Amino acid sequence: MDVSNEPVDLEVKREEGVTIRFADGHVARIGLMELRQGCPCATCRALRERGEDGWPRPGAPEPLRITDAQFHGAYALQITWNDGHRTGLYPFEALRRWSVSGPPR
């Protein structure tokens, strides 16, 4: 992993999103909706490829909220959402790119 993509500070605000400060000083702020709709798991990617949104799905709780977030090794963040979804791993390198160009569509 490129050292510039290493997080030196990470803040999770359950009702707002994630802020990451990287080793080179870059700060990535990514909101809840952007994180949830850009979930990188296979299920959410397949929905986006079919032109559907990964969230909200029928019966999804409102408002959207993070219930837990944990490091997955040294390269990613795993987020658990209040709809129970938790299979997406958000690599720090990808989150850095999102902060500049937006999540995958």
Distance between CA atoms of 57 and 28, rounded to whole angstroms?
27
In sequence order, the β-bridge partners of residue 27 are: 21
Domain count, the chain: 1
* 45-69: pLDDT as tens digits: 999 999 988 888 888 888 999 999 9
Domain that residue 15 falls in:
3-101
Neighbouring CB atoms inside 10 A of 100's CB total 8
Q: What is the pTM of this model?
A: 0.88
pLDDT digits (tens, 9 = 90+) for 84-103: 999 999 999 999 998 888 77
Return d(Cα 63, Cα 104) in angstroms, integer.
22
CATH of the domain at 74: 3.30.2020.30
